[in-house]
Amino acid sequence: MHFQQLCLVSSTDPAPAPAPAPAPAPTPAPEAPKPEAKPADTANNTQGAPEGEEGAPPPPPPIVINRVSDDQLREIIKRLRDRTKLHKEKVTDPYASSPECSPPVTPVYRKEDWEKKLEADRIKKEEAERKKKEDDAKKAAAKKEKEEKEKKEKEEKLKEEQEKAAAEAAQRICPKIKCNCIDFLLKPIEDKMDDYLGSTIDPFTDRRYIKWLSVVTVAYNYNIWFATARLCFPYHTPAAVPFWILFDILSDIINVIDIIIFQPRLQFVKGGDIIVSFEHTTMYLISIIPFDLLSLYFGFSSVYRLNRFLRVGTKSINNSFFEFSDRLESIMAKAYIWRVARTIGYLLYCLHINSCLYYVASAYEGLGSTKWTYDGQGTAYLRCYYFATRTLITIGGLPEPHTLFEIIFQMVNFFMGVFVFSSLIGQMRDVIGAATAGQTYFRASMDTCVAYMNTYSIPRMVQNRVRTWYNYTWDSQGMLDESELLDKMPLVMRTAIAVDINLATFQKIDLFKGCDNQMLVDMLLRLKSIVYLPGDFVCKKGDIGREMYIIKAGEVQVIGGPDNKIVFVTLKAGCVFGEISLLQSAKDGGNRRTANVAAHGFANLFVLDKKDLNDILVHYPESQKVLARKGRKLMKAKGPAAAKTDEEKKKGLALFGNKPPTPKLLRAFGKGGLLDKLKVLKGSRLHTYILHTQSVLAHLSYPIQIALFIVYLCI
């Protein structure tokens, strides 16, 4: 309504034309009250109008608006009028285009113009291709120049490094030792040892090297333990010196044998390559230089044996102790035992070093000079070791230090004790945690399963069987799922393990004889291990056969009878069953199990699924033909499938039904019928036969009785 009023107001905008009519009115001022007389005039006009007609409507009151609103309203009205006009045109001509810009019209070329255009496009394209080739050539040249520049810089850098290395080698105090003369002298011994040890030794797999490493480790530990003790404690007495010399010589002989015989043959890996080089034993040669000969001039002391500690190793060869530790862990079934023992050894050696330092500090202060120092009573090593134990482990109850040296020494002792002891305890915790990680995982899995069964109120008997399965699987395999371990190995390792375990068994199966060996290997990788409890059915008679089974451990029995108490055969480890079902289809029940198979005790079986076999046979069509042919032969030898029952045979529709039964009248003429009986009884008294057959004839109709009588007369 307001909109109509606005339109009405706007449509009356040109109405200012009537305004000049009252223009002469302003001259007389007293006529101002004229508006009051307008109603009377209006009334008079209304009264003066003809009867039955309405008078003119009164003019609307003037609307006072501001200029801004008036401009906006006019703009809106203009847009509405334009919109209405556009819609009217659309109604008049529905195919008129919209006011939007239309796409340009495709020009129509003449034949000559079209050919010129094609030629211009071709020239433009060739120009673009030529320019692109030039750019590519420039880029290739720039790239080649850059590569040559980088190659030249690398060569210069390598040359500088070689020159620098040569300069450093020339400036070394102990250059690389060239033992040409020694090699010449020891060559006969090395040739003889080649017959026993071979030209090279693999440190990762050769057990002889690990045994020898244990001997070298004993010699190394002798040096690091006793050399420090002899250096600090007064153990070089005239009575003990001969024994120390003897043990030192034995230790040096072991090191010499290791350097001359074993180290030159040792293989090590550098950059992925297996290398055998004598140059990496240079540090070992330095470690056996006999500085002990200086004792002849300067007195016997273990300080001359400190070079034995240099057998820490180079970039490629580790310390003999740590190498022995790594090799021993790799062959031990329970490596955590050695790790715990090694950690305890670290702690004992730290206490050993601290006891040696305590004795040196006490000797520096003066034995027995204060309550804190060692008083010189009893066995010096045991007393000092006891002090070191109480200090590093922070047991307390030690005498208070008095001098500045004693206070500083004790503070360092406490600090090192807290640091070292806490580190070793943390390492011990990690070792024990890693050793029991598998057991923790097993317990967590079992607890989760038990909680699940309790939540759903599983019967107690089923829960006990589940617990038994968990315990047996963990005790026998050390894990719940072997596939978790095998999936982490590379394919080569998994193949080697599978071939070693089951390839011989697969090759003995009649069904797989003559098949491709690679196909058998692929089948081995698809095997899954399943554990069955005593009494569990592996398969039941009538089940659909989708798997083949290989007995890994335990026994299974083929049973039958009313209560499955009859044992037909017992299959042991290495036997295979269910292989024919893999190749037979569901037609005529060919893939149905024909017997019940149950586990006699705990049985671990490998299972090959039919789907996995089909996936493998896709890549071996010849083997697939061989398997199909052998499967048919085995099925024929085994016999047809069990016949269906009469009820099953009656089901369904048949094109030719069963033969109808023979009528009663015709049965008399068949073999063993009534005529045969009459022939047998011919010659006997008629009334005896009539009495005998009276009951039979009584049930026959009258015409049949007459016919039988005529036949009898003919006979």
Q: Regarding predicted confidence, which is higher, 27 or 79?
A: 79
Distance between CA atoms of 663 and 544, rounded to whole angstroms? Answer: 45
At residue 543 the predicted structure's pLDDT band, cuts being 50, 70 and 90, is confident
* pLDDT level of residue 18 (50, 70, 90 thresholds): very low
pLDDT at residue 208 above 70? Answer: yes
pLDDT of 416: 86
Distance CA(107)–CA(105), nearest Å, equals 6
Which parts of 320-463 are beta strand (E)? none
| pLDDT value, residue 4 | 44
pLDDT band, residue 662 (cuts 50/70/90): low
DSSP calls for 187-219: HHHHHHHHHHH-S-B-TTT-HHHHHHHHHHHHH
Give the pLDDT score at 37: 41
- Residue 392 makes CB contacts below 8 A (sequence gap 6+) with 350, 351, 354, 413, 416, 417, 420, 421
Strand order through the sheet with 537-539: 537-539, 596-599, 556-560, 566-571
pTM over 0.85: no
How buried is 175 (Cβ within 10 angstroms: 0-12 exposed, 13-18 middle, 19+ buried)? exposed
Confidence of residue 175 (pLDDT cuts 50, 70, 90): very low
Name the residue type at position 585.
S
Instruction: Report CA 472 to chain centroid distance, whole Å.
Output: 26
With 90 as the cut, is the pLDDT of residue 696 above it?
Answer: no
Tell me the mean pLDDT in the region 14-40.
Answer: 42
User: What is the pLDDT of the chain when averaged over all its residues?
Assistant: 76
Find tokens 């945690």 and name the residue: 433
- Model confidence over 119-140: pLDDT tens digits? 888 999 999 998 888 988 888 8
What integer pLDDT is reported at residue 357 of this predicted model? 92
pLDDT band at 48; cut points 50, 70, 90: very low
Which of these ranges, 94-108, 214-228, 590-604, has the smallest mean pLDDT? Answer: 94-108
pLDDT over threshold 50, residue 367? yes
Name the 3-class secondary structure at 106: coil
Pairwise CA distance, residues 486 & 488, whole Å:
5
Higher confidence at residue 496 or residue 684?
496
Which of 604, 627, 601 shows the shortest CA–CA distance to 614?
627
Contacts of residue 599, defined as CB under 8 A and 6 or more positions apart, other chains included, come to: 532, 533, 534, 535, 536, 538, 554, 555, 556, 557
Q: Buried b vs exposed e over 404-434: b needs ≥16 C-beta within 10 Å?
A: eebeebbeebeebbeebbeebeebbeebeee
> Which span out of 265-274, 279-288, 354-363, 606-615 was modeled with the highest average pLDDT?
354-363
State percent of the chain over pLDDT 70: 70
| pLDDT band at residue 642 under the 50/70/90 scheme | very low
Statement: residue 188 has pLDDT above 80: no
pLDDT at 23: 40
Six token digits for residue 505: 């068994």
* pLDDT at res. 385: 92
Say if residue 651's pLDDT is above 80. Answer: no
Assess contact for 591 and 581: CB atoms under 8 A.
yes
Going by the DSSP 8-state scheme, the letter that residue 575 receives in this structure is -
By the 8 A CB rule, do 450 and 463 touch? yes
- 591: three-class secondary structure by DSSP: coil
pLDDT tens digits for range 585-617: 655 555 788 889 999 889 989 898 888 888 888
Distances (CA, A) of 696 to 276, 664, 692: 111, 12, 8
Give the 3-state secondary structure of residue 622: helix
Burial 440-478 (b: 16+ CB within 10 A, else e): eebeeebeebeeebeeeeeeeeeeeebeebbeebbeeee
Q: What is the pLDDT of residue 42?
A: 43
Q: How confident is the model at residue 40 (pLDDT cuts 50, 70, 90)?
A: very low
Q: Beta-strand (E) ranges in 436-532? A: 528-532
- Of the candidates 388, 312, 309, the one whose C-alpha atom is nearest the C-alpha of residue 350 is 388
pLDDT reported for residue 511: 76
pLDDT band at 44 (very low <50, low <70, confident <90, very high): very low
Beta carbons within 10 angstroms of residue 576's beta carbon: 19
The residue type found at 378 is G
The secondary structure of residue 253, as a DSSP letter, is H
Phi/psi at 480 (5° precision) = -90, -30
pLDDT score of 503 = 81
